[in-house]
Each structure stands twice: as structure tokens, then as C-alpha cells.
Chains A and B, each alone.
Chain A
Amino acid sequence: MYARVLTACLYGIAGEVTGVEVDVENGLPGFTVVGLANQSIREAKERIHSAILNSGYAFPDKRITVNLTPANKKKEGSHFDLPIAIGVLLASGLLDPKRDLEETAFLGELTLDGRISGAEGVLPMVIGLQKTGVRRVIVPPANAAEAALVKGVDVLAAASLQQAADWLCGFEELDAQAPAGTQEAMPVLADFSDIRGQQAVKRAAQVAAAGSHGMLMIGPPGVGKSMVGKRLAGILPPLSYAEQLEVTQIYSVAGELKEGCPLITYRPFRAPHHGMSSAALAGGGTVPRPGEVSLAHRGVLFLDELPEFSAHTLEVLRQPMEDGEITISRASGRCTYPARFMLVAAMNPCRCGYFGDPVKPCTCSESDRRKYVGRVSGPLLDRIDIHVALERSSYAEVSAENAPPSVSSAELRKGVEAARLLQEERYRGLRIRSNAELTPLQIGRFCRLDSACETIMEAAFSRYSLSARSYHRVLKVARTIADLAGSAAIGQEHLLEALGYRLPEKYFQ
């Protein structure tokens, strides 16, 4: 006898519908899975055998053939256990289905005693199923909350194979998982008001956040570069629901969703260690998985001690910084993950860290220093819009009593949100959302300079020997500063401030 059950499979972060065909015939007992299944699916045979027996059914002593369609695409994942087991039960005539199988999909991994345990990537798979017209999904209880985020699909959680089979035969109803509840509040992050003094870098951070610009901080150890980096995610505007789903899908694929917190509602902040490999940053592995650049999608990727990262690792950043996505090619296939993050990097000006410090002498030789900063390639520096040098605060600034009240994250975020709103309005209908994403052509359209600004730009060109790329960079940042000021046109003061965020030649000559 023949049976067909629907399930899904992941390709990158896109879920696609997959059919499980099962045929049970008389013949020498055997169990074959065809249709480019990977090792974890082929091993499913053993789990399914035990799970069916331990759920109180007899395992058919017949010739069983399982085909996964479309047969020409590679498939992987342990969530094929449940649909295959249901298919075997149906095809051997042990179940009498009372529900419409064409509108129902099954996802879930089986344990040997017949319970259904959680799987990875359920959210994107359910999104894919919903798009192809599937109305109902049976998922593991562990993934129910995550799957319920998708609108237009009934999500039913089955705890065991027995329960799923009983539901199919109409003996029992399964509880529908309610759609995700209210958004949880932004987690309490460290606040900018914790940082005393350092007005220049705080302002730079606000500008960077307002236009989603990359930012590089250079300064001696202990001045607060990491503090600023960690507080940056907190001044970004909240994610929209569409963005939340985008980010959650990536985390679902990476298996990084925490139970009880199905939807990622706040901007990700990723701070990978500098010893990481390029595959960990970009994504990879024999079966590609999203890396840090994708996990930081719509959020902040913070790279502390930038020159300590291997050159090879850093070069990985170039594609996602240009395109907002990253393509990984492996023997098992090619996939593209979204990776539109805000890069925030910090570095010392030299190995000892005190080059240019007014009090503490630097112990590095000139050539050592050049070698150290030279580890960050020019093309990468070129793609970072905002550069800012930090210095040590004086005692008066650090000691809390005498210090003037420091600007708080909430205040900074207010400006950022207003500026982002202006940008969304302006770029409606275009494929970009922020000033950082402007292409040179769009810069010509949106970043017009009046004659007074042209004069300044001309003077700056010769004074600072700007390149064509840095010219565009200055214009983009000036646009953001004008947005922060709520101004429709770029004014002289906006352009001048933007010029202050170019690469400090002192460190990179």
C-alpha cells in the first residue's frame, strides 16, 4: 500500500515543502530510504523501528520503501522521523486517517520510546509550508511557540507518535498553540550614562546608530571602547515584526533559539572573540550554518581588538558589508544567508596601546606600529563610515560626584529613532532602509550639496587628500547628521562634523 505525508526541508534559511512517499509491499522484510537523504535521515530507520514498536504498534514485516520528493534535492535534518513513521503506519494500514493529509505537515524527531523531541529550523520551515498552502502543522512541543509566530497556519503540538497517530485517526484533539503573546520588553542593557566624559565618541555612536553606519574606535586600553560597543545595540530603534521574524528564522536555523523565548524581539548584539575562524564568522561547516555575520543581522557585530583577528577572517566581512548577505559554497550545496549588520570595531593604536597618549609613553617602534595597524586592510577600513579616536578621561570626568550628568541611552535613542523614521520615509519604495546602504548613484540623488558646502568639500579634498570612496562616505554620514538635526538639506555644520569622522591619518599613515 502507498501513503504520502507532507513535511519540509531547509535550504539556507528558506524552508521548502517536501513529500514523504511510503510504499509497503509483500516481499523480503527491509527498509530503504531514497531521495538524496543524508546520514541523519538514513539513521532514522532505526529510531522509527523502535518508536513504532514502543508506541504499541506492530512493525510491518514487509518490504518498505521511502522516497523523499523532489528526489533531486539533497535533504537533511532529524525532523523527517515523524513524517516517515506516520507514513509507515498509514501505508501498512494500521491507521485510518480522518484528517486531510494534503493540508497537514509533520515535523519532529523521534526518540526510541516514541516521544517527539524538538528540531532545528522549525520557524523557517513553517514559513515555507505556509507559503505553499499548508494549513496545519504538527510540531514538537518544544518548537510550538516558535512555529506559532507564523500567521495563517494552525500549529498543533504532539508530544508522542501515539498522540499524533490518535489525532490523525480522530480519536483525540490536539491543543492549538496560541499565536505568540505580547512582545517582551527590551532587555535592560547597560546605559550610556554609565560612561563619564567621552562626549566625542558618544556623539559618533549616535550618528552611527542613526544611519546604521559602521564605526571604528581607536584608543588606548581602558578608555571605554568596549563599553561603548556594548551599549550601542541599546540605542538602536526596536525591530519591526517583519524584522523580528527575519532574525528569529536565522536563530532557528542556527539552533540558537532559547526555549520559552520563541521570538527575538530585540536587536542582536554579537561580540565574537578574536580567535575565531573565518568559517565561524561567515558561516560554514560541511553542512552550512549561519555564522556570526548572520546572527548579527539587523543588529550589531562588535569586533573588539580588530587587528588581533586573522587577516583572512576579516576579509570575510567585505561581501556582507557591501551586499547585506553572505553566500557560502560547500560540497553539500550553496546557500545565502542575510547579513545586514552594523559593524562596530575597536582597536588600540599600537601593540602597547599608548601611541599618541599625552602622558604614558609608547614603547613600540615605528615599524612595529605600522605592522600592527597594517593588519587591518585598507579595503576594510574603507568600508567603515565612521572613525573616531578616543583618549583617556581625566579624573574629574571619571569620578561620579563632580561629573556633569552624562547623556543617557534613552535620550540618544530618541534622536536615532527620529532620524531612522525620516530615512524610512525617504527610501520608501527603494530597497534600502538607512543611509549606510546608499549606493553612489543614490548619494547623488539624496545627498545634494549647496554651493557653500561645495566650497567646504573642495577645501577638505585638498587638505585631507580624500579619495572618491571617502568622499561618498563623508556625504552619507553628513546625510545622517542632517537627519539627526531634522534638516531636509545637508547644511555646512553637518558636512563639517561628518568630515571629523574620517580615518585619523595620524594612526594610519
Chain B
Amino acid sequence: MIEKKGRALLLGDGPVITASAAVGGKKEGEGPLGASFDLIVKDPYAGEKTWEKAECLLQKKAVTLAINKAGRSPTEVELLFSGDLINQCTPSCYAAVGLGIPSVGLFGACSTAAEGLALAALLLEAGACDRAVSVTSSHFCTAERQFRTPLAYGGQRAPTAQWTVTGSGAFLLERQGSGPRVRGALLGKPVDMGISDVTNMGAAMAPAACDTLAAFFRDSGKTPDDFDLILTGDLGSVGHRIVQEQLGQEGISLDDRYQDCGLLVYDSARQDTHAGGSGCGCSAVVLAGHILREMAKGSLKNVLLAGTGALMSPMSLQQGESIVGIAHLVWISAE
């Protein structure tokens, strides 16, 4: 049953994440969370002709791995939620083609992982289906060419710039089974604080994360102390600091339990990733790999993920629009 408390949606026992899979690229595999990936695809082309096809392959691998891990077959899955960063989400479309699962394409920029999880959990809880998969992907090369400059172009990255994660994370959610449960969700409001600097996405998305987290603590009756870990999707070092400071000023102290997936996925000093990781794959691989493994071990019980996204396109930026941020939240509990 879904209990609506203000904007917070509480799911009672909630659907179970019975399996998840994280697929990463070479750089991600070399990062601090390398050991938590189910599969590392070292070749950025993944043996394909284009990077877009490579990203599609990563997504397909993540979905099939997650389904296989639970001992299920794709025919048993009733709904697929998928998304990525590329125009019209084509990597997701092509990845879904062979699977034969009814699909819902999502675009929430880098917040899509949390958005997909939230929607899948809500539909399961509402009884619309018994088994659903949520998957997202991003690829450094497909994102660079769409949003920035050609890969071989000689540019310098700003210290606030972030590095798009090459990877895909998939989650299988079921109404019955064992595993952590999705106990709550909150869907975010788009927030525009006038930031138009593409090399500082963390700053553009942080206000949305603040809004979502503040709304959740206000409406759900929970406090940060109820959670072992509070995560934002890909705010990087700048956005992490902003959320910490701004929520602190509103009397919500997150302290050390606040982390950002973009900061966890790379070792910025060693891997030259500046402010941290980003992309639809960022929070997906961190959650599907590292976090859910820790929850299975019992070292984490209650985790909040506010997936953050920058809703913009190269066209909107060239037309002088600022970057709209959004943050969708899911509460995952192993209790």
C-alpha cells in the first residue's frame, strides 16, 4: 500500500530488489569500487562499431546479468524502465529490442536511475505488475560527443568539471523475494537557480537535491539519523559541499553519513576526474554494485538515494538557457 505523506510516498513493506548488476568500463574498474562490478568491459567500443552501440551493449549486459542472478528469465519480467543521456534515449531503445519486455523509456538526465527505481517500485506496490527491471546507462564517449567536444579535440577540463561514468546498472524488483526493499520515494521538482556553466553541473543540480531531501525529511517524519547513508547521485565535490552547507542552514544536518556517488566511483586525485563522476550510469553502478553489496553484508541498513539530474541539451545551452536541476529520491531498507 502506498501511503502519501505530503510529497513523500511511503511503501509499507515495499517491493524487493531481488537482484542487481553493475557493468563498468575500464576507468570505473580501476576506481575504488572496481571490485564491486559484476562485469568490466575494458574496450570503450565493447567490440562494436560505435560508442552508442557499446553503451547499448553495456545496458543489455546489465539487464540480463540482473535477471540471471535472480534465476529468472526475461519472459518473466513484466515491465522494463530504462533511460540514458543520448538523444531520444536510443541506447535504451536498442537494448530493449531483443528482450521482449514491455518498456517505458525515461529521461531524467542523471537522475534516471532513481527515477526508474521509484516508478518501478510504485507500480509494483500499486499492483500493476509483479516483476520489473529498472536500468540506466551512460558512456563517457557518447556523452562527450553529444554534450561537449569531439574526443580527440584538445581541450582542458575545468577543476569543477565532472567525468561521465561508462557503465550501466540494472535492478530487478519483485513483489516477493529476499533482498532489500524500496520503502519510500519522492519525486523531485525541477529547480532552476540560473547556473549556465556546463563545467559546473554539481552547482546546477545541488538546489534540486536540497529541495528533494528537505521535502522528504519534512513530510516523511524521518530524520537523517534514521539512515546509515544518504547519497546524492552525481553532484561531485562542489555540489556535495553546497548540499551539506545549505541543508545545514535549514537545520538538517547530514554529517558524515552524506556521500555522493560521483565522489565514490573515482579516486579523483589518481584518476584525473576533477570534481567527480557523473551520468545516468554513475548512481546506477554505485547502487547496483557497491551499496547493495554492503546492504547484503549487513553493514548498511537504511539508505537514501537522491538521484540528481541536469535537464538540458546543447541546444538549450547555446540558446542561453540555464541548467534545470532535478532530484528523485528512493529509500532502500534492508531491515
Q: Do A and B bind each other?
A: no
Mark B residues whose CB is within 8 Å of A. none
Mark A residues whose CB is within 8 Å of B. none
